[in-house]
Each structure stands twice: as C-alpha cells, then as structure tokens.
C-alpha cells in the first residue's frame, strides 16, 4: 500500500533539514501527504531571493506549496544548519508550536555538488574546498541532531533518518564525497547506539539513481517526460523519483517495529519489497538489481549493506 493511500502519520511532527530540493523535497512532500506536520528547512528562501550560492532556483516555500497541494501541513523555516544558533532557534520554535513534539527528523542537508572534485585524487584537490564539503554535508547533520534529539528523547519515541548515497562500503568516486556519505552512515549508527535506551530509532537511507531537479536538467528532460532520456543513458531507465525515497521514509516512520531496524543502512530497493510502496508512476525501481544485471561486470559488485 502506498503512503498516499491513507494518512498513517496524522498527528505526527516532522523536521526535514535540507528539504529544498531533490530527495529532501520528495521526503517532505510524502511526509505531508501521509498526514504529518512538516517543518521544511534550508537556506534557499523566497525571503532572500533564493540565493545560496548553489545557482539553483528551488526554495523551501516551493516545497511547502507542494506539501500543501498533496494535502499536508507545511511550515517553511529558513535555516542555515551550519549555524548552531539558527538550528537551536528552529528547534525551540518547533517545541513551542508543537508542545515539545517531534516524531521524525530527516537530516538531508547536502549542498556539496559544486564542491565535489570528481577528477583528482586527494593530494591534488583544493583542501579548503574539500573541508568545506565535509562541514556542509556532515557537521550540519551533527548540529541538527544535537538540538533536535532532546525532543525525541523526552517523549521516548521517534525516528531519525540520515540520507546518504549508497549503503555499502564501496568507494564512491571522490575522496571528500566518499568520506561525507560514508560518515553519514556512521552518524546513523552512532545515534542509534545512544538513542536505543530511549526507544528512538536512527537509520541511514539511500535512494538509487535519483531524478533530482539537477539530474533532470542535466538530461534535458522533466519529470513528465524523463523516460526520453533513457535513449542517452540506459541506466536512467532504472532511476527513481524523489517521491520513492519519501515513501520509504513514510513506511519507516509508520512502522511500529522500526526499532528493529535502528542502526542499519537501508535502501529504497530493499524497503519497497518489504513495505510494498511504489514510485509516483506506480513502478518499483530496484537499482541494486539493475546493477547486478548490467553494471557489475564493468564496475564490480555493489557490495553488502553496512
């Protein structure tokens, strides 16, 4: 059953940190469609012209509009998650608005596309740029959890989702990118260990080949005609929309036995089989299966989940 077939998260409160675009936007919209009140945060806001240095047009207000259109409740709050004082103020607002309630925390802050050097090894990369990527992609998650987790601990319930890329130890193609995405998995594991006595779950979650706004733009297509790009890249035919990732999060958040998964690195391609959710078009993409069939000879095995 799809998350949008009913509202299993009615009455729940969610914070999607980094919900401006891509997977974060997909998660925020699906959480709202499932009944949650969603605080969607990020640096790109219509209040300041959407300027973030990312040269992208998406804003948190646009995400909020999509949540509302899906039948959900959205509260956009411009927040720079690298600034502890802004995150503290955000969480204080949530606590005041929602009587101390926070049920789902999604750490999806990224902003590292323009900082990733895919061409050079570590010793030839710009060090300041690489360290800035780590601060943006890892420290922001730590800061956000530091201030948000007390709300969950106090209620002895909740779910933390650390969004990453890949759920194995496989090298991801660039030193700082690999370090950031691998570290996010460890963040989920470490939080799970400390949160377990308080009955709060923490997992890492990866999509497959995600059709973000930037990816669609790269292929010169939209979400409506994306299949046309498969003629240029056969792997693209096995891609998934951000909604698929969002529905995976909804399934986890609605699962009363989610504590059994705490500390694990999960993927959309494993969860759809267990929960039965589909992508927005009714399909069930399985990028791991595609990898095993079409990419393993050229790139080696994807690897076992961490």
Q: Which of 39, 147, 171, 177 is catalytic?
A: 177
The alpha carbon dihedral of 112, 17, 30, 275 has a sign of positive
- What is the secondary structure of 11-22 as a DSSP string? T-EEEEET-SSH
CA distance 68 to 205: 25
Whether 177 sits among the annotated catalytic residues: the reply is: yes
Token match 């890249």: residue? 233
Token match 């509202």: residue? 7
CA distance 188 to 159: 11
Closest CA to 109 of 138, 87, 86: 138
CA distance 176 to 32: 33
Asked if residue 168 lies in contact with residue 303, where contact means CB atoms within 8 angstroms, the answer is yes
Instruction: Kindly state the helix (H) or strand (E) to which residue 78 belongs, with its residue range.
Output: strand 73-78
CA distance 59 to 77: 11
Catalytic annotation, residues:
177
């Amino acid at each position: 059953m799809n998350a949008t077939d009913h509202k299993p998260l009615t009455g729940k409160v969610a914070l999607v940190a980094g919900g401006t675009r891509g997977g974060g936007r997909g998660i925020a919209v699906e959480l709202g469609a499932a009944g949650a009140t969603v605080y969607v945060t990020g640096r790109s806001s219509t209040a300041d012209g959407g300027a973030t240095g990312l040269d992208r047009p998406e804003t948190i207000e646009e995400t909020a509009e999509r949540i509302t259109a899906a039948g959900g409740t959205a509260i956009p709050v411009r927040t720079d998650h690298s600034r502890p004082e802004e995150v503290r103020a955000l969480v204080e607002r949530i606590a005041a608005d929602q009587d101390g309630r926070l049920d789902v925390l999604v750490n999806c802050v990224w902003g590292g596309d323009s900082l990733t050097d895919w061409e050079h090894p570590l010793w030839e990369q710009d060090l300041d740029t690489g360290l800035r990527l780590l601060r943006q992609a890892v420290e922001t998650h730590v800061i956000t959890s530091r201030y948000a987790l007390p709300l969950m601990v106090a209620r002895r319930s909740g779910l933390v989702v650390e969004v990453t890329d890949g759920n194995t130890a496989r090298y991801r193609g660039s030193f700082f990118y690999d370090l950031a995405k691998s570290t996010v998995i460890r963040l989920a594991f470490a939080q799970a260990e400390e949160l377990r006595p308080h009955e709060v779950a923490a997992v890492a979650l990866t999509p497959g080949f995600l059709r973000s706004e930037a990816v669609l733009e790269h292929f010169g297509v939209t979400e409506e005609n994306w299949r046309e790009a498969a003629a240029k890249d056969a792997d693209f035919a096995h891609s998934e929309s951000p909604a698929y990732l969002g529905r995976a999060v909804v399934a986890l958040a609605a699962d009363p036995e989610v504590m059994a998964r705490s500390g694990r690195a999960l993927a959309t391609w494993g969860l759809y089989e267990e929960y039965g959710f589909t992508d927005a078009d009714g399909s069930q993409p399985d990028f791991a299966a595609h990898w095993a069939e079409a990419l393993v000879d050229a790139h080696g095995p994807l690897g076992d989940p961490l």
